[in-house]
Amino acid sequence: MINMKKISFFCALVLLPLMGFTQLLPNGSFENWTSNIIFQQPTGYSTTNFRSYHFLGSGNVSRTSDAHSGNYAARLETVGNGTHVEPAGIFAGQPGNGVIIGGIPYTQTPISMSFWAKGNIPSGDSAIVMFLFKKSFQPIGGGYAVLKGSYANYQQFVITPFWVTPMQTPDTLAVTITSSSYNNLSGMGSILYIDNISFTGVTAQIPNNDLEQWNDYVSEEPQNWMSSNSQTNQGGGLSVSKSIDHVDGSYSARIETQLNNWGSLMGFLILGSMDVNGNLQGTPVSQTPGKFSFYYKYFPSVGDSAQVIGMFSYYNSLQNSQVTLSQALLKLPAAANWTYCEVPFVYSDTITPDTLLIGFISSNLSDSSIVAGSYLLLDKVEVSMVAGIQNMSESDLGKFLSPNPTHDYINLVIPPEARKSDYSIEILDETGRLIYQKKGHPLNGNNSEHLDLKNYRPGLYFIRLINSLNQWSGKVILN
């Protein structure tokens, strides 16, 4: 069932756009989906790929055929975008506050641990390979190697373990392999290749010690849109998925707030992509968008609300950057049925934008205590381009409003041009919020409307009159 109630986000305008053609945005009905390998993880280990995607939009641990032996090795690279640096890491266990939580079951005491590695570690940085043996959650031994400088070819590194209590047998092994030192992080660029981890003096090696086995992390993505799927928790499912509950076509998009390794993560869907520096790239436009619209259902966790973000911009060659021309932010309340929503842009300049960016988020960005579980269904996202700008100055409707200023009511004489068809009268406060709406019918012989304002606070208000052919607006001061 479709709830045809319209949720509108109005802004008080002196310049009002005349909408031209409406078009479906690229894959705006979410009919086209593609299965993508987000990244690959070495079987039995966790990595920083999820964290790197969370902050930078790309992974930093990958499978490589540049191996010491066998088919594959692991490649780790410290990456960043100028403001955030993300060292690459492979772990047996989960990284915590300066420690590795848990690990893999292991019950032998090796004489030595070795691995083969190469890479380039810039001056001031260092790569770390560390093994920590535990019993009943407590460390009882281990060893580590620090790699600095450049290694053009694979070299073997051997670690002799130390034992705090030699007579004890471990039950857990934690492993940490990083391309940079978290304690002395000098910047981006450290690259480490690692292969063939081996223990001596034991009968059992650690699982996947030759790094030959990798798992593909795959998501089905809506074409032309960028999703939060790469950032959700391992094993936590996808935050964006295809749904057969739809308005248009056969599918819609489902966006859900889920957990990742750093707490609750808002699911998001953005029209466009992200460049190598982590900057969002929208879809190209050659005309000025006047508004965009969509259908949605929303099932929030307690106190939550979804958010919609829209903006358009142009490239300023002097600043060598995109300059935002207009932007809009709208919160979506709960909606059990399909609900139509449109978001107008406020814009009166003559510069034509070249990029449109639209995003949908399953939770409230301003809420610091997001609870997983909120989900948003989205379908039929369209944009209306501006055909032209009609000047609606204050005098257009101002001469039909009296008394002005007023302290309790305003009388609106309907202009003759507005009496040719049904019309709508709207009152907006100074922030652009719609606070009153009334329909009028000229066939009833009404040439004026009495608008009661005595329940409103003193201030500036906008009166807007709209019919199928035209629009008028004027200002009213309430004392």
Residue-wise pLDDT for 121-166, tens only, equals 998 899 999 999 999 999 999 999 999 999 999 999 999 999 987 7
CA angle at 132 for the pair 126 and 137, rounded to the nearest 5°: 135
Q: Give the single-character DSSP code of 111.
A: S
Average pLDDT of the residues of the chain: 83
pLDDT top residue among 426 and 204: 204
pLDDT at 416: 78
> What number is the average pLDDT over the span 250-256?
96
- C-alpha 78/C-alpha 197 separation (Å) is 21
Phi, psi of 269 (to 5 degrees): -140, 120
Q: Give the single-character DSSP code of 231.
A: G
Q: What is the pLDDT of residues 78-105, one digit of tens each?
A: 998 777 888 999 999 887 776 788 999 9
What's the Cα-to-Cα distance from 360 to each of 50, 66, 452, rounded to whole Å?
A: 21, 40, 38
> What number is the average pLDDT over the span 4-13?
35
Q: Which of 294, 357, 292 is nearest to 325 (CA)?
A: 357
pLDDT at 176: 95
pLDDT at 367: 62
Neighbour-count burial for 437-452, b at 16+ CB within 10 Å, e otherwise: eeebebeeeeeebebe
Q: What is the pLDDT of residues 332-391, one digit of tens each?
A: 999 999 999 988 887 766 678 899 999 999 998 776 557 788 999 999 999 988 754 343
pLDDT bucket at 397, cuts 50 / 70 / 90: confident
pLDDT top residue among 67 and 50: 67
In this prediction, what percent of the chain has a pLDDT beyond 90? 42
pLDDT at 263: 56
What's the Cα-to-Cα distance from 475 to each of 53, 209, 353, rounded to whole Å?
A: 49, 74, 30
> What number is the average pLDDT over the span 285-307?
90
Query: Residues 442, 434: contact at Cβ < 8 Å?
Result: no
Q: What is the dihedral of CA 328, 331, 335, 337, to 10 degrees?
A: 10
Q: What is the pLDDT of residues 168-208, one digit of tens each?
A: 899 999 999 999 987 656 667 899 999 999 999 999 999 99
**How would you classify the pairing of strands 306-316 and 280-281?**
unpaired
Most confident of 54-58, 257-261, 400-404: 400-404
pLDDT bucket at 10, cuts 50 / 70 / 90: very low
- C-alpha 336/C-alpha 452 separation (Å) is 34
What's the half-sphere exposure (Cβ side, CA atoms, 13 Å) at 288? 22
Alpha helix locations (H) across 71-175? Answer: none
> What number is the average pLDDT over the span 408-429?
81
* Contacts with 445 (C-beta within 8 Å, 6 or more apart), sequence order: none
What's the Cα-to-Cα distance from 408 to each of 451, 452, 459, 464, 478, rounded to whole Å?
A: 9, 6, 12, 18, 7
In terms of Cβ atoms closer than 10 Å to its own Cβ (0-12, 13-18, 19+), residue 344 is buried
> What number is the average pLDDT over the span 58-75?
95
* DSSP assignment of 365-393: TT-SS--TT-EEEEEEEEEEEEEEEEE--
pLDDT at 92: 93
Task: Tell whether omega for the bond before 405 is within 30 degrees of 0, i.e. cis.
Answer: yes
Q: What is the dihedral of CA 145, 148, 152, 155, to 10 degrees?
A: -20
- C-alpha 51/C-alpha 265 separation (Å) is 12
Q: What is the pLDDT of residues 257-273, one digit of tens each?
A: 886 555 557 889 999 77
* Contacts with 440 (C-beta within 8 Å, 6 or more apart), sequence order: 414, 422, 423, 424, 425, 446, 449
* DSSP assignment of 415-469: PGGGGGS-EEEEEEETT--EEEEEEE-GGGT--EEEEE-TTSPSEEEEEEEEESS
Q: Residue 21 pLDDT > 90, yes or no? A: no
pLDDT top residue among 378 and 417: 378
**Domains of the chain from N-terminus onward:** 2-32+223-389 (2.60.120.890), 40-214 (2.60.120.890), 392-478 (2.60.40.3080)
- C-alpha 213/C-alpha 222 separation (Å) is 29
pLDDT at 1: 39
What's the Cα-to-Cα distance from 438 to each of 18, 20, 421, 441, 467, rounded to whole Å?
A: 21, 25, 14, 10, 12
